[in-house]
Structure 1
């Protein structure tokens, strides 16, 4: 039986991506995040879930520092020594991470690779080329894939990885296809070192590329085109504390209300954490349930999935049937996280919503993790799929 892959995680945020991988059988050994409030949240949430998911502390600890530190004199860094230690034990090593993405986002700064955050993408690729993990995952916004000026930079990064021995495949995924109650598109780039692929028995036939054999579709639960044909409601008049039956013919697990109930958001530790205006806003009471047509003040519909859970850039999401903004507990549910995942009581509201909004939806992370395992083990299942 193969050993579970060992992960070194970067730009870890509050650990949504890491959790999806770890509950799929990977061993998270090294965690890096630059923003201390994110790392504090990561560690707090982990303590609350460790017994439920049998989580262990990362063998090589938590590292609150700039990822650029790890590409300075690489042969002498703590990172290099830890990787070598794993290699001596015969472990398969993976890097996973999603560099900050505002510089590639249409709704963000759009500065591309020249922006401070954009440069971190090149740094992550450089780190991969230096340290040569067996495989890696890179996650970012769709703007890096679809915007012409950013796509050129993305293609340059892929070429660099190829020149350093990696085969790659990329796909624009949507979190809702993996069962998360949220439309959230992200580009996922997977790469595997050619030498490692050969050792695992993964061989390309003549004329094939990694795109031809990587099982991107295997863990997708709902096709986007099928979801578009489902009779999800559009808008209903707002009525506080109202009851509204679910329309027939819908997958309940893709609705906001299902996740609010599943995570028992009314009794969740973060249920009282939401922005409260000093003076009540009249629009909280007049925007119809399900009206998410504007950039801000989008009211969710209880029997529909949520728009992308991005709470920056003045974007405000309103509760379906209460005259207020959604709470941290509700935002966590929309990210399809387990109800045991909680944020610290002393985190600021700004950091709380930034933490939640920046993360990869848990079910999407889990689906990607399982897809990679299926590919690496060539169909031999050495992990137990968590049913949550």
Structure 2
């Protein structure tokens, strides 16, 4: 089977895409409305030697592609991809502040919340063989948001999709970060080689791709609490953390050699906060803002907007973009353009899907596709190819 083809939406700087790109998928179309993020996407791929998407990059509002004048062109691109005989998938995580308790919490009627419906409508309209939808846990756990989410799932089922979802924490995949996200996977029934004999969640074998038990890791008493802050102090790995050090901030700072990374100097320097940076204990993340990370512990959720300030464990400053990328488990070769504003750097990092999580999901989907998707062109692919001729 040829490489599965992906159409990426709400791509940001491409953290989710990268997990798929480096695990056997071919991203052929990229849509990101915020141009600085799109430029960073292109820059990072040029530095990594990844070829440009066959069907290009697009900065249109997704409404334009699903409901507006961009429909015809996107339809042609999807039809061309289907003609290749490769499985075609959509991946994306619509902006989530409207479903976040820590954000706007306006739900599906909010400016960003409505984009979830648009993405689902696009899946139904263009009928990819499979899709990935990623979003915050508020869409799963908050009652009024959950009702909307269940309605979107019902619409997808009515359109012929089998669905499986899971509230997933990034730390389960080896990311040094406590970050809950919904991952919803859907597959078009018509694209399956035969009817599944078990629930889709079991067919995916989701749990077998998880490396760590979330509750055990996050609830462990092995993690250090706080330590007195001293600039450039030395603090050996606690014996209690041995065997879990790969889930710590310091491990990833060393792994990515952050002091030598191209984005190592990219951090905010607010002069007025210097004295505050010198008085917060290492590991004190209990405040709403000004959280000092502990070098031998995992990080809180990487969220660097809305006055969320993460402070370096043993330096009197905020963390750098290089350090934030390490906390998101990006490969050390991944970098953002030097001329990108600091606000855009930290926003795209905080919005992104941690790399190791995206890699784990990509590997799971790849195995499922090879095992269950038809090796022959589905009927609807043949129809689409005939219509485009």
Q: Check whether TM > 0.5.
A: yes
- Indicate the residue corresponding to 2:383 in structure 1: none
Q: Distance in 2 between matches of 1:105 and 1:164?
A: 28
- Indicate the residue corresponding to 2:204 in structure 1: 214
1:155-170 correspondence runs (5 A): 155-170=150-165
Alpha-carbon deviation of 1:225?
A: 2.4
CA 1:168–1:379: 2 relative to 1, 3 Å: closer
Please give the secondary structure, in 1, of the residue aligned with 2:208. Answer: coil
- Indicate the residue corresponding to 2:331 in structure 1: 338
* TM-score when normalising by structure 2: 0.92
Q: Distance in 2 between matches of 1:3 and 1:370?
A: 16
- Indicate the residue corresponding to 2:229 in structure 1: 238
- Indicate the residue corresponding to 1:178 in structure 2: 173
Which residue among 274, 277, 281 is the counterpart of 2:270?
277
> Residues 325 and 349 of structure 2 are in contact (CA less than 8 Å); yes or no, is this contact kept in structure 1?
yes
Alpha-carbon deviation of 1:280?
A: 4.6
1:92-111 correspondence runs (5 A): 92-111=87-106
CA 1:73–1:352: 2 relative to 1, 3 Å: closer
Q: Distance in 2 between matches of 1:16 and 1:365?
A: 7
Structure 1 residues 103-154: Cα deviation after superposition (integer angstroms, max 9, x where no partner): 0000000000000100000000000000000000000000000000000000
Question: What's the Cα RMSD here?
Answer: 1.5
1:261-340 correspondence runs (5 A): 261-340=254-333
Q: Distance in 1 between matches of 2:347 and 2:355?
A: 16
Structure 1 outlier segments of 4+, above 4 Å = 73-76
Please give the secondary structure, in 1, of the residue aligned with 2:123. Answer: helix
Structure 1 residues 223-261: Cα deviation after superposition (integer angstroms, max 9, x where no partner): 112313261111111011010000123422111011111
- Indicate the residue corresponding to 1:3 in structure 2: 2
1:256 has 2:249 as partner: yes
CA 1:89–1:243: 2 relative to 1, 3 Å: same
Bigger mean CA deviation after superposition, 367-376 or 24-33: 367-376
Alpha-carbon deviation of 1:214?
A: 2.5
- Indicate the residue corresponding to 1:59 in structure 2: 54
- Indicate the residue corresponding to 1:385 in structure 2: none
Please give the secondary structure, in 2, of the residue aligned with 1:191. Answer: strand
Q: Distance in 2 between matches of 1:325 and 1:72?
A: 42
Aligned residues: 370
Structure 1 residues 331-370: Cα deviation after superposition (integer angstroms, max 9, x where no partner): 0110000111111111111111001000000000100111
Unaligned segments of structure 2, at least 5 residues:
374-389
